[in-house]
Structure 1
Amino acid sequence: MRPLIRLALLTTLLSATAPPVWAHKPSDSYLQLTVADDRIQGRWDVALRDLHELVGLDPDGDGQVTWGEVRDSHSAIVASVLPQLTLSSAGEDCPLTAGTLRIAEHSDGPYAALAFDGRCPAPVEQLGVHYALLFDIDPSHRGLLRLELGGRTYSTVLQPSARQFAVRLEQPALGPLFWTYLQQGAWHIWSGFDHLLFLLCLLLPAVLQRRREGWIAATDARRATLDLIAVITAFTVAHALSLSAAALDWLQLPTRWVESAVAATIIFAALNNLFPLVQQRLWMVAFFFGLIHGAGYAGVLAGLGFEPATLALTLLAFNLGVEGGQILLAACCLPLAWWARHLALYRHMVVVPGSVLAILLGSWWLAQRLFHIRLEGFL
């Protein structure tokens, strides 16, 4: 019992001193551009929480950002945001002029929606976009671009490794769009730390069997692999179903409760590794939890305003990327875990500590999301 107490104290200390790890949905902004002749109309939605990091939207320090504070910060917001976007045509910049500012609601909270106009030196046949917002302070930030040019809709995800996007009138739209969201589906697995932690909680005991005396090494590699594939596939199918339903606006759930439920799934999965809550048909548990995790990311695709056919393509690509990312994760972890399954070190220094740490992190996130508090402010 004493080793477990020491372990709990150690993981508590680690979680308290580690840098904060954030929510299931990463930082995003939504950039919409409509090009007609030599003119560009744009709208840029940036989360208030991100703008607060840039310009400080709460001057009175009461912890609440009001519309009046956002309105008073209009000039500072424009000065911080608009220079981070450069549009060009035929090798020449298209100067941008800021317009009105209003509040828009997205799945993860309030955003400032900045309207702007641009004018290019000549009618646009090729447009270049260079995006640099927040990359210097948040490498996980993504800019989701939707561009209408020549009667076609184009989309991409701008990120630190891909800050530029160029499109021509004759360029086909669907191939690059599919590839972009295939990559984003895989990135969703590797960047969403709570999603990754949940999967790891399922993977850790995959090479073990529970007996009365505790965990013992599994003896049937084929059975262990098939059981793991069943769990991952059930999770992915459910993830795809709920993500698609929410992105198509067939299902609407409050983001606060969805994100809180995601944290609760981590706690349950980790507890199940320490105490036998569910021992049979884990794929059914994974399916149910996959429905919750899928709903947590749907707002990104819905916020782009795609037409139904384009949205269906992005959903297919994104879900295939998610499945591929999960298979890659399992392919990396399972052989190493299978080799180490006989070691007491794996059972007592990997499975147990990993599960305890997951419970602590899941509880941290649950409190943050359920009660809108930032626990690191008290540590």
Structure 2
Amino acid sequence: MRWPRLLWLAALLGIGLPAEAHQVNLVTARVALAPDRTVSVELGMKGSDIDRLIGTRIHDARQDAVDPAAVEAARPAILAYVSTHLAVTGGGRACLVGHAAILADGDGIIYRNSFACANAAGDIIYRSTVLTEKDPAARQVVLIAQGKSETQALLDAGDTSVTLSTAPPPLWSTMQRYLLTGIEHIFLGYDHIAFLIAVVLWARRLIPVVKIVTAFTVAHSITLSLATLNVLVIPSSIVEPAIAASIVFVAVENFFARDVDKRWRIAFLFGLVHGFGFAGALRDIGLPPNAVVPALAAFNVGVEIGQVAVVAVVLPILALADRLTAQDRSEPARAAGLVYAVSAVIGLLGGYWLLARVFEA
């Protein structure tokens, strides 16, 4: 599993990667604990997040890049913010802080500093509320290096610290975090939700829906695993427009075909595409080196729970529409007007996302 680790570090350090290495609402950090109890911290953030937090203007949205001169001018403000929201302590006492560096890095910034904890007895704790204090939905991925071993922690607004000098968190805790991350990705992934709704709009029976959801799950599980483990990686500049195109296709198809019994085939085909999108989200937070397979499985299960929840909400609404519009109660017919209206809205959204993503690529 050396390649995933190297790619994660490359994304963090901005080595040879495009500006998309920094993601909105995500802080990436590498924390190294040396034998002399010195802690080196390197933290990466999106420039637009810095502007939102501090009120600076270092990020150019049109170019999706930061201005190095603006970063240098904002250095005191950035340091003041990070110093307020990041700390390393030993035995409850603050470790001696070194001289911090702020560097422009493509579309974001890198913060580097060291903390000397030799004179601080007890466990060494890294604590950070950078970004998460402002936005509860934000996350911070922390790669912890100690000697030849590496572990990973995922911090958020409710969990702001990690102990560096003790054993890594239990496996179940890691899996629980990735499970919740998978669920969150579906609920925040409006394009995935739009696809799921469009593909089941004509469904009247449960069996076709089960086939559709199963086919979609199997397909995205395959490509999610392949892409996350770097066996097969497709650039997001191709994947994201393809996901939008899949939404347009299914929405338009609703105007010409009502038979959902065979739609599991389309769900499987486009599930392969969506799996690469899920993998992009998972690569943003990385996989813990000591629990790659469990974390990947937990994230996948979380995605599945999220999409089942979406379908479980949509189907009763469609059934209610059937009952309200059926002329013959013994044979409810799907309200064609509702399906066409919803499909039109989803198709327009998909078209907008397709154009936006093509021109952003």
- Measured against the shorter chain, the TM-score band is 0.7 to 0.9
Aligned counterpart, 1:127: 125
Aligned counterpart, 1:266: 247
Q: Secondary structure at the match of 1:175?
A: helix
Alignment of 1:29-48 (within 5 A): 29-37=27-35, 38-48=37-47
CA distance 1:91–1:156, change in 2 (3 Å): same
Aligned counterpart, 1:236: 217
2:342 is aligned, of 324, 338, 354, to 354
Letter in 2 for 1:125: D
Aligned counterpart, 2:72: 72
Aligned counterpart, 1:281: 262
C-alpha contact 1:85 1:133 (8 A) present in aligned 2: no
Provide the TM-score with structure 1 as the length reference.
0.73
Aligned counterpart, 2:227: 246
Instruction: Give yes or no for the alignment of 1:173 onto 2:194.
Output: no
C-alpha distance in 1 between matches for 2:278 and 2:343: 24
Aligned counterpart, 1:87: 88
- After superposing on structure 2, the runs of 4+ consecutive aligned residues of structure 1 that deviate more than 6 Å are none
C-alpha contact 2:103 2:111 (8 A) present in aligned 1: yes
Q: Secondary structure at the match of 1:276?
A: coil
Q: CA offset at residue 67 of structure 1?
A: 5.6
C-alpha contact 2:125 2:161 (8 A) present in aligned 1: no
Provide the TM-score with structure 2 as the length reference.
0.77
Letter in 2 for 1:176: S
Alignment of 1:259-338 (within 5 A): 259-276=240-257, 281-303=262-284, 306=287, 310-338=291-319
> Across the two proteins, how many residue pairs are aligned to each other?
326
Q: Secondary structure at the match of 2:240?
A: helix
CA distance 1:177–1:352, change in 2 (3 Å): same
Alignment of 1:108-257 (within 5 A): 110-120=107-117, 121-122=119-120, 125-133=123-131, 135-136=133-134, 138-148=135-145, 153-165=150-162, 169-170=166-167, 172-207=169-204, 224-257=205-238
CA distance 1:328–1:242, change in 2 (3 Å): same
CA distance 1:317–1:335, change in 2 (3 Å): same
Q: CA offset at residue 186 of structure 1?
A: 1.1
Q: Secondary structure at the match of 1:205?
A: coil
C-alpha contact 1:86 1:131 (8 A) present in aligned 2: no
Alignment deviations for residues 288-307 of structure 1 (CA, whole Å, 9 cap, x no partner):
21222221232444355656
Q: CA offset at residue 266 of structure 1?
A: 1.7
C-alpha distance in 2 between matches for 1:303 and 1:329: 24
Q: Secondary structure at the match of 1:31?
A: strand
Choose between structure 1 and 2 for higher RCO, CA contacts under 8 A separated by at least 6 residues: 1
CA distance 1:168–1:176, change in 2 (3 Å): farther
C-alpha distance in 2 between matches for 1:251 and 1:278: 34
Q: CA offset at residue 243 of structure 1?
A: 1.8
- Using the aligned pairs only, state the percent identity: 29
CA distance 1:339–1:177, change in 2 (3 Å): same
C-alpha contact 2:223 2:276 (8 A) present in aligned 1: yes
Q: CA offset at residue 119 of structure 1?
A: 2.8
Aligned counterpart, 1:27: 25
Q: Secondary structure at the match of 1:206?
A: coil
Q: CA offset at residue 126 of structure 1?
A: 4.8
User: Which 5+ residue runs of structure 2 have no aligned equivalent?
Assistant: 1-22, 327-333
Alignment deviations for residues 287-331 of structure 1 (CA, whole Å, 9 cap, x no partner):
221222221232444355656652222111100111122222223
Q: CA offset at residue 271 of structure 1?
A: 1.6
Q: Secondary structure at the match of 1:169?
A: coil
CA distance 1:147–1:308, change in 2 (3 Å): closer
Superposition RMSD on alpha carbons, in Å?
3.3
Q: CA offset at residue 371 of structure 1?
A: 0.9
Aligned counterpart, 2:20: none
Q: CA offset at residue 184 of structure 1?
A: 0.8
Aligned counterpart, 2:58: 57
Q: Secondary structure at the match of 1:117?
A: strand
Q: CA offset at residue 164 of structure 1?
A: 4.5
Alignment deviations for residues 202-243 of structure 1 (CA, whole Å, 9 cap, x no partner):
233222xxxxxxxxxxxxxxxx21211111121122222212
Instruction: Give yes or no for the alignment of 1:367 onto 2:355.
Output: yes
User: Which 5+ residue runs of structure 1 have no aligned equivalent?
Assistant: 1-24, 105-109, 208-223, 374-379
CA distance 1:226–1:277, change in 2 (3 Å): closer
CA distance 1:141–1:347, change in 2 (3 Å): farther
CA distance 1:100–1:64, change in 2 (3 Å): closer
C-alpha contact 2:228 2:282 (8 A) present in aligned 1: yes
